[in-house]
Amino acid sequence: MRFALLSAAAAFIPLAAEAGPPATGSPDYGLSYGPRPAYLISKLPEGALKDKLQSCAAQTPSRSDFSIGHRGAPLMFPEHTVESNVAAAQMGAGILECDVTFTKDLELVCRHAQNDLHTTTDILTSDLAETCITPFSAADGDTPATAECRTSELTLAEFRTLQPKMDSADNTALTAAAYLGGTADWRSTLFSGDATTMTHAESIDLFKSLGAKFTPELKSPAVEMPFDGFTQADYAQKLIDEYKAAGIPPADVWAQSFNLKDVLYWIEHEPEFGKQAVFLDASYDREGFDPDNPATFPHDFAALHARGVNYIAPPMWMLVTLENGQVVPSAYAKAAKTAGLKLITWTLERSGPLTFGGGWYFQSIKDATTDDSMYYQLLDVLAQDVGVDGVFSDWPATVTYYANCMGL
């Protein structure tokens, strides 16, 4: 299967190789920004940021660790597929992500969630539909269509038979086939016809071949643990073991989890990997949380750092606020940096057109978010004022262009 994955990547790479000469140190294909960065820059108001970014129009693209492919490049490609990650690498993402979950036979695979197969694959119209823990149920009046299908119900061999698609569902659907639709009109289904799933181990081989580094996320199980004798500690250890088996240096791996216990497990049991373990902060789920009010912060940043946590990763909106109409660092951002924590944030280019405030990822600055120019305005504040170490993006070219231009 490894040969098949790399062959698929090799077949896909020449499509972007014509865009320009290879960047120094990259595999034998050209990196390309494509038209989107220039489009977003053209939307910026006149001023220093626009002038600076336009001055870099002729720069040769190069890979940047500041640019992190969020599940690859899912703005246009089915997430967690070979094709999505090759596209992200072609856009200069220096770090690529595999969200990790497990199958019925305890093999690690790249999926955003253990229970997302009904929205990210064709399982509902395949012979494996009968494995879904919640079979497809058609919409009925105000009751939306529903389904739930888990990787933990499939063997790896069965998982490999599924066809990936854009993550979407049509909740008004009357048939399973219609339920597989619902892709947002600002995304695309053009590249969904023959996309390729990956195991976690295969993602390691692929990312290495693309010259990229690694940020796997240990996803919360949808099943009760232990599962068939497989404990949470086993799960966390197996993720690290697959990097060790592949000979990947710990310095090239940023293992992530929303579960602080996973991060502390790596710090204690795999300290070389634990140095760069990333605690994904879901403080936004806590009632009353306000990133501008330290009294509402559920975590003591200094205490986290004292326990060996060096990286914390909240969503973008938690790191910024508005002050006299300007985007500035939030109290959360300042407190985390003061405690010595390094910041990574998510997810740029996941919101579509920003004409109506940008939705969830821009909620703390929605009053200043009126068009797509905010993508680069926010990125500039995150990089220069907040001081983040990296930004996840659904279309990494946007971040890569900025990082190259600013020398990050």
Q: Round the average pLDDT of the chain to a whole number and report it.
A: 94
Q: Contact at 8 Å (CB) between 158 and 118?
A: no
For the chain, give every domain's residue range. 2-98+198-215+281-406, 108-179
Distance between CA atoms of residues 328 and 86, nearest Å: 34
Residue 140 confidence (pLDDT): 97
Q: Which two tokens stand for residue 86?
A: 């090759």
Instruction: Quote the CA–CA distance of 101 and 232 in Å, as a whole number.
Output: 11
CA dist 181 and 124 (Å) reads: 12
How far is the CA of 3 from the CAs of 38, 162, 205, 209, in angstroms?
37, 19, 10, 12
- DSSP per-residue codes, 202-248: HHHHHHHHTT-EE--EEPPPSSPSSBTTB-HHHHHHHHHHHHHHTT-
| Cα dihedral sign, 110-116-122-123 | positive
The whole-number pLDDT of residue 193 equals 86
Q: Are 400 and 67 in contact (CB under 8 A)?
A: yes
pLDDT score recorded for residue 28: 43
Q: What is the pLDDT of residue 29?
A: 58
Q: Give the pLDDT confidence of 278-317 residue by residue, as tens digits.
A: 999 999 999 999 999 999 999 999 999 999 999 999 999 9
In 3D, which of 408, 84, 74, 27 has the Cα closest to residue 208?
Answer: 27
Residue with tokens 């690529």: 96
Closest residue by Cα to residue 400 from 70, 14, 10, 51 = 70
**Sorting pLDDT into bands at 50, 70 and 90, what band is 9?**
low
Distance of CA 74 to the CA centre of its chain: 9
Burial of 46 (0-12, 13-18, 19+ CB in 10 A): exposed
The residues that bridge with 344 in the sheet, in sequence order, are 390
CA 95 to chain centroid: 10
**Closest residue by Cα to residue 401 from 349, 362, 350:** 349
Token pair belonging to 159: 């998982």
360-377 average pLDDT score: 98
Please tell me the pTM assigned to this model.
0.94
Give just the sign of the alpha carbon dihedral 165, 188, 217, 10: positive
CA 77/CA 75 separation, integer angstroms: 6
pLDDT single digits (tens) 273-288 = 999 999 999 999 999 9
396: preceding bond cis by omega (within 30 degrees):
no
For residue 26, what pLDDT is reported?
Answer: 42
Give the C-alpha separation, 150 to 227, whole Å: 13
How distant is the alpha carbon of residue 138 from its chain centre?
A: 31
Pairing of strands 146-148, 134-137: antiparallel
Q: Classify residue 298 by its DSSP letter.
A: S
pLDDT in tens, 79-102: 999 999 999 999 999 999 999 999
Q: Residue 377 to residues 38, 56, 71, 252, 351: CA-CA distances in angstroms? A: 14, 16, 24, 29, 15
Residue 101: strand pairing partners: 109
> Which residues make Cβ contacts (< 8 Å) with residue 247, sequence separation at least 6?
none
